[in-house]
Amino acid sequence: MNLLLYIPIILTIVYAVSFLTVSWGFYKQTKNDTIIENDAKISVVIAVRNEESNIEKCIVSLLKQNYAVTDFELIIVDDHSTDRTIEIVEEYCKRNQQIRLLKLSDKNAKKEAIKLGVESAKYSIIATTDADCTLPPNWLKIISSKFKGDASMLLGPIEFNEQNGFLNVFQHLDMFAMQGLTFGLLNYKKPVLNNGANLAFLKQDFLNSFSTINNKTPSGDDVFLLEELKIKNKKIVGFLHNEFIVNTKSENTFREFFNQRIRWASKSKYYKNNWLVFFSFLVLTINLFSIFIYFHLVLIDKNRGIYIILILTKWLIDFILLFLVSSFFDKRRKMTYFVPVQLVYPFYILVVGFLSFFIKFNWKGRVYNG
């Protein structure tokens, strides 16, 4: 058998088995919906930089929590904002005793802002989110519930806001894939990804691990902390519930989108989690072969039938996972764009993966190497 036919067949089989397993794991996670009453005290830490257009909405969503104001504090750490962010936060500090504003002195990085916030926290449970997020009313209540046992980290679901256009749909389906992988593998106690927009952990675990968290990249404090806790055999749990979904803003332009994804992908070279490395390599490889198959189908007559079967098999596996995840988020209508997204997705993976190693990316007015 031709090697260029043999390899894609084996790869497709491995991909199918792996992601059907992930899909089943995600489905099982959606059935775990128990919320136990608890009144633990929680410190919410938000690192901000030039968020004047977002921070107020985030603060208001926290102040509207179905949780006693005496049982949580909000620590906002400013990373040298040059807009009205500090002014807005200070106004809320005057009216709400549970809100504190801290300012980074000489260091510049989201990691350092998070560290300062955690070190200053009064309570043992730390919850993090981003300034461009809005939080559901029972967010703190659910976090408290999940730390009644021996959990060290809690992962929660996130979704993008609704906007018109193909870019927003593409970001939704891309995020559905990441959320599916995150919670699907977590069902088998194989945590690989998380997102600081909806994350909680124990203060002491963070402080014990921060010195070993990778500092070669400006972001990634969330996933690198997860890796450190996994190495230490700490209990990492997730909770998929519609009352625990954090809403965050999608990117408005393709330039912003690719800059964000390159920033995310730039962390991959530092991953130590074997399962994350495996799935990252699997996704990259099968998408590279998908590009090869696309060109083969257009230019060469030989083995077209087999290559079409391989592509359709991959699409079916992807559809199952994305359908499950989109159903959980009540956004199944996004699946009407499944085919056009599938056609361009391999090229997106190739471009982002390649550029993340060679070009600089921008974050809040700062430029970093990939």
Neighbour-count burial for 132-143, b at 16+ CB within 10 Å, e otherwise: bbbbbebbbbbb
* C-alpha to C-alpha distance for 331 and 161, rounded to whole angstroms: 11
Contact between residue 140 and residue 127 where contact means Cβ atoms under 8 Å apart: yes
Q: Give the residue among 72, 69, 74 at the shortest CA–CA distance from 58.
A: 74
pLDDT tier for residue 106 given thresholds of 50, 70 and 90: confident
**Which tokens go with 29?**
């996670």
Q: What is the pLDDT of residues 308-353, one digit of tens each?
A: 999 999 999 999 999 999 999 999 999 999 999 999 999 999 999 8
Calculate the CA 322 to chain-centre distance: 16
DSSP 8-state code for residue 161? P
The larger pLDDT score, comparing residue 339 to residue 299, is at: 339
Alpha helices in the chain (DSSP H): 3-29, 55-63, 85-95, 110-120, 139-146, 166-186, 203-209, 221-231, 254-265, 274-299, 304-328, 338-355
Residues of the chain above pLDDT 90, percent: 74
Residue 93, Ramachandran bin (φ over 0: left; ψ between -120 and 50: alpha; else beta):
alpha
**pLDDT exceeds cutoff 80 at 187:** yes
Q: What is the pLDDT of residue 298?
A: 85
The enclosing H or E element of 242 equals none
Give all domains of the chain, ordered by start, each with its CATH number.
3-26+273-356 (no CATH), 34-178+186-259 (3.90.550.10)
How many CB atoms sit inside 10 A of residue 84's CB? 14
∠ CA 200-201-206, nearest 5°, is: 135
Q: What is the DSSP letter of 122?
A: S
Q: Looking at residues 122-134, what average pLDDT do you find?
A: 97
Q: Tell me, rounded to whole angstroms, the distance of Cα 246 from its chain centroid.
A: 11
Alpha-carbon dihedral angle through residues 179, 183, 184, 186, given to the nearest 10 degrees: 150
Identify whether the C-beta of residue 89 lies closer than 8 Å to the C-beta of residue 77.
Answer: no
More confident residue, 304 or 54: 54
Q: Which residue has the higher pLDDT, 139 or 265?
A: 139
Q: Quote the mean pLDDT of the chain.
A: 91
Q: Which of 4-18, 69-83, 103-117, 321-335 has the lowest mean pLDDT?
A: 103-117
| Average pLDDT value for residue range 98-121 | 89
Give the per-residue pLDDT at 39.
85
Are residues 74 and 103 in contact, defined by beta-carbon separation less than 8 angstroms? no
Q: Which residues, other chains included, contact 203 with Cβ-Cβ below 8 Å and sequence gap of 6+?
A: 43, 118, 121, 123, 124, 125, 126
**Who contacts 198 (Cβ-Cβ below 8 Å, separation ≥6)?**
129, 133, 155, 156, 157, 158, 244, 245, 246
Token pair of 248, please? Answer: 């965050």
Report the candidate in 177, 140, 164, 184 with the shortest Cα–Cα distance to residue 35: 140
pLDDT tens per residue, range 198-238: 999 999 999 998 777 656 666 667 899 999 999 999 999 99
Cα separation, 253 vs 228, in Å, equals 34
Contact present, 126 and 203 (Cβ < 8 Å): yes
Q: What is the 3-state secondary structure (H, E, C) of 15-59?
A: HHHHHHHHHHHHHHHCCCCCCCCCCCCEEEEEEECCCCCCHHHHH
Helices 166-186 and 304-328: angle between axes, nearest 10 degrees: 80
Query: What gap in Å lies between CA 292 and CA 66, rounded to an integer?
Result: 53
Q: Are 337 and 233 in contact (CB under 8 A)?
A: no
**Segment holding 134, helix H or strand E:** strand 133-134
Q: What is the pTM (predicted TM-score) of this model?
A: 0.92
Whether pLDDT at 89 is above 90: yes
Alpha-carbon span 229 to 222, nearest angstrom: 11
pLDDT of res. 1: 55
Lowest-pLDDT range of 7-16, 121-130, 238-247, 270-279? 270-279
Token code pair at residue 225: 């902390």
pLDDT at site 365: 64
pLDDT at 364: 66
| C-alpha separations of 192 from 222, 245, 316 in Å | 11, 19, 24
